[in-house]
Chain A
Amino acid sequence: MAGVRALGASLSGSDTIILSLFIFPSLFLARTHVNYEVKGDVAVVRINDPTSKVNTLSVQMQTEMAEVMNEVWANNAVQSAVLISSKPGCFIAGADINMIQACNNAEEVTKLSQEGQKMFEKIEKSPKPIVAAINGSCLGGGLEVGLPSAFDMMLTGRNIRADKAKKMGLVDQLVDPLGPGLKSPEERTIDYLEEVAIEYAKGIVNKKIPLRKEKGTMQSKLCYYIMSFELVRNQIYKTVHGKVMKQSKGLYPAPLKIIECVKTGVEQGPTAGYLAESQNFGQLAKTPESAALIGLYHGQVACKKNRFGTPQREVKTLAILGAGLMGAGIAQVTVDKGVHTVLKDTTLTGLSRGEQQVYKGLNDKTKKKNITSFQRDSILSNLTGQLDYSGFENADMVIEAVFEDINIKHAVIKEVEAVVSPHCIFASNTSALPIKDIAAASKRPDKVIGMHYFSPVDKMQLLEIITTEQTSKDTTASAVAVGLKQGKVIIVVGDGPGFYTTRCLAPMLAEAVRVLQEGTDPKKLDALTTGFGFPVGAATLADEVGIDVAAHVAEDLGKAFGSRFGGGNVEVLKTMVDLGFKGRKSGKGCYVYQPGLKVKEVNPEIGEILEKYKMTPNPAVSSDSDVQYRLVSRFVNEAVLCLQEGILNGPLEGDIGAVFGLGFPPCLGGPFRFVDTLGADKLVEKMRRFEAVYGNQFTPCQLLLDHAKDSSKKFHK
């Protein structure tokens, strides 16, 4: 069954792409993606998509692969084959998304999928042994996998480290990457991998290497035995199904379909399994969820580029003011990128806590064996913790993450400008204060910019960069360059209260407070929001953001935008803050947080507060679905308004910002795609109904109305 052996070279962290210097003898043929040469009696089949940095299973790749393999099988001089990529760090990254997008309907995708299956099946059943020499990212297709672990990998699309893949039995042998020798490490490693793979292929033909080790451990025997009972198998399907439902709330169709395919394959044989797989794949590829996720993929790729060009100076020293959660978080994502990072706080306790956070982040990576303890230490040597401004003259950029108070921000910007050199950029990590107000205290407003990170900084991918009219293009380019170095997905937005993300979130949170005041339990509120696809429920989100921050933002933006940002009573939040319920960080918020306890209970003391500010729900707009739409429509309307007002550069960045920064349901693809998919008219209709009850908080903005009037208007073409 398994004609394929896999060798893997772990090349973690190597993203250098070197153009292949191989000259193929078969270059005379018209093939561009797959070629082979015969070394001794081993055919070395090399995969290389000349048009891309990575190899994908495009139509051309599949066609040429089939051609080459047919020639290899037909060639009597060939006893075995080695399958290898000429690209350092990439074997086959997966199916070609563009190819799937180019299909007009599910049937076409199904057909494509069947072509691919046929090829893999042929390779699997190859009469001549094939060694797959994998260097870098690889799609698991065609590899025989053990059932229990296969479930896990297929479902989550996890990236697996080479050593783990070996343990899981996905690959048979690991080849360590080489250092410099007579060629560059990347080139030599590929050559070496090929040499070892050829020896393996010969070894298999000579029967020196058994085709597959039947370990026959008690565990695996037991596993097979148990799996032979239908009852046990059903129990496994059920368990996995339950797990998937719990994680995806049934909003993502793919994992369930995968279980279905595996089930069909196991119960009814491989042919039925393959058919189910290709048909389901075809259907899935053309679902709105697929369109949403593909859209996000393209958006993310776009937001990983610096459209402002290369900055004049590279930031080599970055100073961060304030060693709180955010400041230390920014340090965490900076220090391991080879940037000298200065973390400044005003108190020793604050600094110590911040430095510990950075250490812990790296130490956790060490524990997970992503980095060695030595790498941890050498990364940390780039971090300087201090209480004064010494050495700030060497800073190329200062990011302040101090308390959200305009007066403090002004004091800080003056202190910084007194010590830094003229080229130094001042960035503010504020979540709501307009940057131009902060820049008002600056002598060099062209060097002032907003860099809004999301908590926890090391986990949240988004960075919202805010430019004022005075911010220079080079300052923006530099901020984007730093963000990209930190591994962030970046949106660049215009200045204004709450910018884009906070401005979208505030009305939704205001609505959430109203929902609570109307007597909905925080747990129910969370269930409603996660049920809509938000990864974190609204009440939990408020606790994570911090009730004090939420109160602050609600008040500030309420002043700036007036009654449109009303709904819930800000006093609810303020009372909570007064009682010390500041959310997770203080141990109590909507919920009570106890260290070590995963299950959180609703904070019993907020009942009194909500009782005090109780509102009577209107049954006409209080069904579960209505509550969900009340929350989401305010979010979406504000997002569209941001586009209308020019805060946003385009709907793409709007979607990316909402999904990656605020957890807008990824299966919906972001507020703009959501409007496109649902139909602006339908959304407006709902909003009008809510407007009748609550007033202008639900008045659709002009741009949304325009889209509602003309159904041909779409945010995404």
Chain B
Amino acid sequence: WNLNVQTKSKKTLARPGVKNIVLVEGVRTPFLLSGTTYADLMPHDLARAALQGLLHRTGLPKDAVDYIIYGTVIQEVKTSNVAREAALGAGFSDKIPAHTVTMACISSNQAMTSAVGLIAAGQCDAVVAGGVEFMSDVPIRHSRKMRKTMLSLNKAKTLGQRLSLIGSIRLAHLSPELPAVAEFSTAETMGHSADRLAAAFGVSRVEQDEFALRSHTLAKKAQDAGLLQDVISFKVPGRDIVSKDNGIRPSSMEQMGKLKAAFVKPHGTVTAANSSFLTDGASAVLVMSEEKALAMGYKPKAYLRDFVYVSQDPKDQLLLGPTYGTPKVLERAGLSMSDIDVFEFHEAFAGQIMANLKAMDSDWFGQTYLGRKSKVGTPPMEKFNLWGGSLSLGHPFGATGCRLVTTVAHRLQKEGGQYGLVAACAAGGQGHAMVIEAYPQ
């Protein structure tokens, strides 16, 4: 029967005097490998699709929310406040303000917790939060030299001035600037840092490939079993209706073992197969105060409870957010690791997940870097990312956070658990963790 009858430290995380904030619904577009079916869209198109999906699924009146917040990482310069463009396009009332946040891979986590903050402060009752990432098209800029010349050209008054400016253009001016998934502060790409992190914790190539294979296998199973109910269908203009993630590819250890290291060459262990891939996708959640949700006749999916943000050294601890965030949020909530029934960790790289698990399992690390008496302890794998993760489902940077939270809510419902934990790392050496409580069924 119910596996979760064991006694919890706490019956509920509800606290007197603190507003109950609930997740009413969460949806996402299918996550697609960038450069595939979404290739010709723009970011706000994807976000719009997620918002329309949310409206459709909840039957929410288009003027019934107070605020809209979106997270994104690589910004399309034309739609820098993508939340507003998407909301207008999705048919929301133009009276609803919207803003965009960015916090690397935890951007939509930030969108959600901003919503929680607005509701907790009594400023809003209903907020839509979401995230979008579109890697099929990224802003590639002219070089700084060229930009400077072009801007001066704007100001040039005489033909002579213009001609001399044009004459000053050299071949070097023409080399473009590409955005890189690299830390600005250290200039190191994330994959490189992940490889070093895996090496620091002695994570082997085989361990990484095994974890990646597990992610793809579980994702495939979940997809086939129809568990990924947050996915909405999306009619892509000029293309077919998309209704499935297309990055799930369970392979074999042998196949995966053939790949060469992608970042630290040639002796590295992080490969294309054990890393998350560049993904297009958008997500959206409806967050409300419990009272408002009930008044509008909704049956909430879960309570959004305690959350923390952490940050550490962006060079050597870039992706250790979950290790730092997990014990901190558990302590805030007054729960222990064993109280948690559902774990959803963001899988940036298999090596990063394994490194975090090893860090949480190390007394030395706990004592030296977390200021604890002993180790944090590791989540049991039978509760961990059971419906796949970013490695297999895909990782649209700005959209993953909402997927994690929605998945926890759905898994709690499906598995009958009470508490769930979301944890994620992000560029800049930051991290996020949140405790989610099932809504009584």
Assess whether A157 is interfacial by the CB under 8 Å rule. no
The answer to whether A374 touches B196 (Cβ under 8 A) is no
Known: A192-B199, A199-B267. A180 touches B369 (CB 8 A): yes
| Chain A residues with CB below 8 A from B201, complex form | 181-182
Q: Would you list which residues of chain A between 353 and 407 have a CB under 8 Å from chain B?
A: 372, 374
Q: Would you list which residues of chain B between 364 and 394 have a CB under 8 Å from chain A?
A: 364-365, 368-369
The answer to whether A180 touches B199 (Cβ under 8 A) is no
Q: Measured between alpha carbons, how far is A506 from B202 in the docked complex, in Å? A: 63
Known: A188-B200, A372-B186, A374-B185. A180 touches B316 (CB 8 A): yes
The answer to whether A181 touches B355 (Cβ under 8 A) is yes
The answer to whether A178 touches B316 (Cβ under 8 A) is yes
Write the chain B residue with the least CB distance to A174. B264
The answer to whether B185 touches A179 (Cβ under 8 A) is no
> Which of these, A175, A180, A188, A374, contacts B317 with CB under 8 Å?
A180
Assess whether B362 is interfacial by the CB under 8 Å rule. yes
Write the chain A residue with the least CB distance to B203. A181
Assess whether B171 is interfacial by the CB under 8 Å rule. no
Assess whether B5 is interfacial by the CB under 8 Å rule. no
Assess whether B225 is interfacial by the CB under 8 Å rule. no
CB distance from B400 to the nearest CB of A (A): 24
| Chain A residues with CB below 8 A from B202, complex form | 181-182
Q: Measured between alpha carbons, how far is A181 from B197 in the docked complex, in Å? A: 7
Assess whether A536 is interfacial by the CB under 8 Å rule. no
Greatest chain B CB density within 10 A among A176, A180, A192, A372 is at A180
| Chain B residues with CB below 8 A from A178, complex form | 196, 199-200, 316
Assess whether A598 is interfacial by the CB under 8 Å rule. no
Q: Would you list which residues of chain A between 500 and 549 have a CB under 8 Å from chain B?
A: none
Q: Measured between alpha carbons, how far is A180 from B429 in the docked complex, in Å? A: 14
| Chain B residues with CB below 8 A from A181, complex form | 197, 199-202, 355, 358-359, 365
Assess whether A428 is interfacial by the CB under 8 Å rule. no
> Which of these, A179, A183, A199, A372, contacts B196 with CB under 8 Å?
A179
Assess whether A185 is interfacial by the CB under 8 Å rule. yes
> Which of these, A176, A180, A372, contacts B264 with CB under 8 Å?
A176
Q: Measured between alpha carbons, how far is A372 from B266 in the docked complex, in Å? A: 25
Known: A175-B267, A178-B196, A178-B199. A183 touches B364 (CB 8 A): yes
Q: Would you list which residues of chain A between 188 and 219 have a CB under 8 Å from chain B?
A: 188, 192, 196, 199-200
Assess whether A173 is interfacial by the CB under 8 Å rule. yes
Binary per-residue interface labels of chain A (145-181) against chain B in the complex, 1 for a CB within 8 Å, 0 otherwise: 0000000000000000000000000000101101111
> Which of these, A173, A179, A183, A196, contacts B197 with CB under 8 Å?
A179
Greatest chain A CB density within 10 A among B187, B201, B267, B369 is at B267
| Chain A residues with CB below 8 A from B266, complex form | 173
Write the chain A residue with the least CB distance to B364. A182
> Which of these, B184, B186, B192, B200, contacts A180 with CB under 8 Å?
B200
Q: Measured between alpha carbons, how far is A255 from B184 in the docked complex, in Å? A: 43
Assess whether B315 is interfacial by the CB under 8 Å rule. yes
| Chain B residues with CB below 8 A from A372, complex form | 185-187
| Chain B residues with CB below 8 A from A188, complex form | 199-200
CB distance from B299 to the nearest CB of A (A): 46
The answer to whether B267 touches A196 (Cβ under 8 A) is yes
Q: Would you list which residues of chain B between 305 and 346 have a CB under 8 Å from chain A?
A: 313, 315-317
Write the chain B residue with the least CB distance to A209. B266
The answer to whether B365 touches A182 (Cβ under 8 A) is yes
| Chain B residues with CB below 8 A from A175, complex form | 267
Q: Measured between alpha carbons, how far is A623 from B200 in the docked complex, in Å? A: 68
CB distance from B294 to the nearest CB of A (A): 48
Q: Measured between alpha carbons, how far is A200 from B368 in the docked complex, in Å? A: 32
| Chain B residues with CB below 8 A from A374, complex form | 184-186
| Chain B residues with CB below 8 A from A185, complex form | 200, 316
The answer to whether B316 touches A179 (Cβ under 8 A) is yes
Greatest chain B CB density within 10 A among A181, A192, A196, A372 is at A181
| Chain B residues with CB below 8 A from A199, complex form | 267
| Chain B residues with CB below 8 A from A182, complex form | 200-202, 358, 362, 364-365
Q: Measured between alpha carbons, how far is A175 from B358 in the docked complex, in Å? A: 22
Q: Would you list which residues of chain B between 270 and 321 have a CB under 8 Å from chain A?
A: 313, 315-317
Binary per-residue interface labels of chain A (680-716) against chain B in the complex, 1 for a CB within 8 Å, 0 otherwise: 0000000000000000000000000000000000000
CB distance from A200 to the nearest CB of B (A): 8
The answer to whether A179 touches B267 (Cβ under 8 A) is no
Q: Would you list which residues of chain B between 189 and 208 have a CB under 8 Å from chain A?
A: 192, 196-197, 199-202
Write the chain A residue with the least CB distance to B316. A179
Q: Measured between alpha carbons, how far is A188 from B197 in the docked complex, in Å? A: 11
CB distance from B150 to the nearest CB of A (A): 24
| Chain A residues with CB below 8 A from B358, complex form | 181-182
The answer to whether A179 touches B365 (Cβ under 8 A) is no
CB distance from A611 to the nearest CB of B (A): 49
| Chain A residues with CB below 8 A from B192, complex form | 176
CB distance from A18 to the nearest CB of B (A): 14
CB distance from B188 to the nearest CB of A (A): 9
The answer to whether B196 touches A176 (Cβ under 8 A) is yes
The answer to whether B184 touches A179 (Cβ under 8 A) is no
Q: Measured between alpha carbons, how far is A188 from B365 in the docked complex, in Å? A: 13
Q: Measured between alpha carbons, how far is A182 from B369 in the docked complex, in Å? A: 11
Q: Measured between alpha carbons, how far is A679 from B76 in the docked complex, in Å? A: 78
Write the chain A residue with the least CB distance to B317. A179
Q: Measured between alpha carbons, how far is A196 from B261 in the docked complex, in Å? A: 14
The answer to whether A179 touches B200 (Cβ under 8 A) is yes
| Chain A residues with CB below 8 A from B267, complex form | 173, 175, 196, 199-200
Write the chain A residue with the least CB distance to B193. A179
Write the chain A residue with the least CB distance to B264. A176
CB distance from B236 to the nearest CB of A (A): 40
Q: Would you list which residues of chain B between 114 and 147 have a CB under 8 Å from chain A?
A: none
| Chain B residues with CB below 8 A from A176, complex form | 192, 196, 264
| Chain B residues with CB below 8 A from A183, complex form | 364
Q: Measured between alpha carbons, how far is A536 from B200 in the docked complex, in Å? A: 49
Q: Would you list which residues of chain B between 218 and 233 have a CB under 8 Å from chain A?
A: none
The answer to whether B185 touches A180 (Cβ under 8 A) is no
Write the chain B residue with the least CB distance to A184. B368
Write the chain A residue with the least CB distance to B195. A176
| Chain A residues with CB below 8 A from B365, complex form | 180-182
| Chain B residues with CB below 8 A from A196, complex form | 267
Write the chain A residue with the least CB distance to B369. A180
Q: Measured between alpha carbons, how far is A236 from B187 in the docked complex, in Å? A: 39
Q: Measured between alpha carbons, how far is A183 from B362 in the docked complex, in Å? A: 10
| Chain A residues with CB below 8 A from B187, complex form | 372
Known: A185-B316, A196-B267, A372-B187. A180 touches B368 (CB 8 A): yes
CB distance from A167 to the nearest CB of B (A): 15
Q: Measured between alpha carbons, how far is A173 from B261 in the docked complex, in Å? A: 14
Write the chain A residue with the least CB distance to B314. A374
| Chain A residues with CB below 8 A from B199, complex form | 178, 181, 188, 192
Greatest chain A CB density within 10 A among B186, B202, B358 is at B202
CB distance from A510 to the nearest CB of B (A): 53
Write the chain A residue with the least CB distance to B265. A173
The answer to whether B364 touches A179 (Cβ under 8 A) is no
CB distance from A585 to the nearest CB of B (A): 32
| Chain B residues with CB below 8 A from A200, complex form | 267
Q: Measured between alpha carbons, how far is A173 from B268 in the docked complex, in Å? A: 12
Instruction: Identify 20 new A-B residue pairs, CB closer than 8 A, beyond the known A179-B197, A179-B316, A181-B355.
Output: A173-B267, A176-B264, A178-B199, A179-B200, A179-B315, A180-B200, A180-B369, A181-B197, A181-B199, A181-B201, A181-B359, A182-B358, A182-B364, A185-B316, A188-B199, A188-B200, A192-B200, A196-B267, A374-B184, A374-B185
Residues of B near any A CB (own CB < 8 A): 184-187, 192, 196-197, 199-202, 264, 266-267, 313, 315-317, 355, 358-359, 362, 364-365, 368-369
For the complex of A and B, the 4 pairs showing the least CB-CB separation, nearest first, are A179-B316, A181-B200, A374-B185, A178-B200
Residues of A near any B CB (own CB < 8 A): 173, 175-176, 178-183, 185, 188, 192, 196, 199-200, 372, 374
15 contacts between A and B (CB under 8 A): A175-B267, A176-B192, A176-B196, A178-B316, A179-B196, A179-B316, A180-B200, A180-B316, A180-B317, A180-B369, A181-B358, A182-B201, A183-B364, A188-B199, A372-B187
